[in-house]
Chains A and B, each alone.
Chain A
């Protein structure tokens, strides 16, 4: 695999934290990138550079620092947009994937009038702004109104961030939440898709890949079914964007969400993609400074998107770091990165050769990311994680914010190893060796 990333060890050296040791001087084996990825030096430097050289509020001041900051902020938007194949003004900065999905869900709630429409002047807003819609609710907002009888469709594999906001939206509007189930090997079961996605379906939202099983969703089939019934589509792309080429325009989704921190950028920033004409009509959630055009004592008009969704002073340094992270990914090439990780998947899956280790999710390397959840017979995942930690190996244990998925597989929790561009075969080897000792440590019989 080093053939595709020829400078692999140099690449690894770009990540300062990977050079440290843990637990009595053991080299760090970081297998928790699905939770959050480590940051290369260029990303850290870019953020420091902003603070040291041109820290200023954007879109506000007339001075040179403000101008430089604004240029960097908007250039970052173009960079992140082109990384996922869309236009700059289709990218809204949010604090992350959770905030992006909530922005869509609350937008629908707002359009449905269930959050108290009185606070939002309607289309008759007195200002009738130039570019923007009057008040929060422009004339187009009604396209998003949900009513009793409408249905929202998700899957049983969702992260709580792509589940709870839809539960809330359903509860508020009287719509019904439905879902596609999972097969025993952790794939989304689309055998009954025609029964689940129907004429009543208004929204279909799903993870492009599961953060637990690593399974890549049959996106085409689900999106086709959604489009066939005229439903809006939302893609939680935060696990796929860092690991494989993702072109949102080609996928033709209506909305998508991803987080910088999972793709070598900083925490505190993420992106909501929305098709331009949809962002025009979707009501904003937060109101206040910078998201307006004209404001009187009784009314306001919205700025055009994306500004309409960015009330208040934004996380400028993080936005800049986010864009640098996408440039860093592009430099190495998403195809090369995906190929490197495909090699790691095969090695990771070999943990199932260890007695007592069972993978939750696909056990074959096709259509899956290098994210592998597993249980060790007779040993609780928390205890597994502790033994691995003692060997310097960082994995995540618990339900990974996906309780329904764990319930589906009758396990309260799993351990999860997740690889990334900087993961080496020797990292995976270290995991396998340490895992082989776990049952012995806990005095399991066959050991």
Chain B
């Protein structure tokens, strides 16, 4: 397989064409305050797409039952942008949606990331984030541990991208947005 074909694997081309979770309503993104500090976190009302917390749970663990964080990430080199909004329900990612424009790598990576993290625990999302960074630093070698590979599922396809230093940032854009959005939702990472 040529390096080019290794980079643009079919899962990536498909994800770029049919992105998952690229449904964020710009009005919703705008309505969120963009907190200048992670401490400046907002609570949200349950919406149709937000899982309702079981009554009483808020009280027992003393944490915000449902918080939202929105992050806007921009790559000044190529102009790619992603706005991602995450709703955190206790230790879960209750909802993640995004909008943006950019190259197929940035779009596909955000899409696959959403597929992996939608509904997962925050801890699992953090773990995947660190595995994905390892993958992007692997210079085409991929992850060593098969269990880690299994965890990343389709995101392993970006191993080809790790061969092209100029494109690694594209693949990381969505992940950076998720991490920042989680911080803005008050999650301590």
* A interface residues (Cβ-Cβ under 8 A, vs B): 23-24, 379-383, 386-387, 390, 397-399, 403, 406, 412-413, 441-443
Tell me if B17 is interfacial: C-beta within 8 Å of chain A.
Answer: yes
Q: Which of B79, B104, B105 contacts A412 (CB 8 A)?
A: B79
Q: Which 3 A-B pairs have the closest CB atoms?
A: A412-B79, A380-B103, A382-B103
Q: Is the CB of B4 within 8 A of A390?
A: yes
- Contact among A381, A398, A406, A443 for B13, CB-based, below 8 A: A443
Q: Which chain A residue has the least Cβ–Cβ distance from B107?
A: A380
Contact A390 B3 (CB under 8 A): yes
Interface residues of B in 1-26 (CB under 8 A from A): 2-4, 7-8, 13, 17
Shortest Cβ distance from A443 into B: residue: B13
Complex interface residues of chain B between 131 and 179 (CB less than 8 A to chain A): 164, 167, 170
Cα(A390)–Cα(B8), bound, Å: 12
Taking a contact as CB atoms closer than 8 A, the residue among A379, A383, A390 that contacts B2 in the complex is A390
Contact (Cβ within 8 A) B78 A386? no
A382 touches B167 (CB 8 A): yes
Q: In the complex, A441→B9 CA distance in Å? A: 11
A381-B78, A398-B77, A412-B79 given; name 7 further pairs at CB < 8 Å: A380-B80, A380-B104, A381-B103, A382-B80, A383-B103, A413-B79, A442-B13
Residues A382 and B170 in contact, CB atoms below 8 Å apart? yes
- Residues in chain B near residue A413, CB distance under 8 A: 78-79
The answer, yes or no, to whether B101 is at the interface (CB within 8 Å) is yes
Give Cα A248–Cα B17 distance, bound, in whole angstroms.
51
Binding site for A on B (CB under 8 A): 2-4, 7-8, 13, 17, 77-81, 101-105, 164, 167, 170
- Interface of chain A, helix or strand or loop or mixed? mixed
Option from A379, A381, A387, A398 in Cβ contact (under 8 Å) with B4: A387
Residues of B within 8 A of A443 (CB): 13, 17
Q: Known contacts A23-B3, A24-B2; decide if A412 and B80 are in contact (CB<8 Å).
A: yes
A441 surroundings in chain B (CB, below 8 A): 8
| A380 and B2 in contact, given A397-B78, A398-B78, A412-B79 (Cβ under 8 angstroms) | no
A406 to B17, CA, bound (A): 24
> Which residues of the partner chain A approach B17 to less than 8 Å between Cβ atoms?
443
Q: Choose among A380, A406, A442 the residue that contacts B102 (Cβ–Cβ < 8 A).
A: A380
Q: Which residues of the partner chain A approach B8 to less than 8 Å between Cβ atoms?
A: 383, 386, 441-442
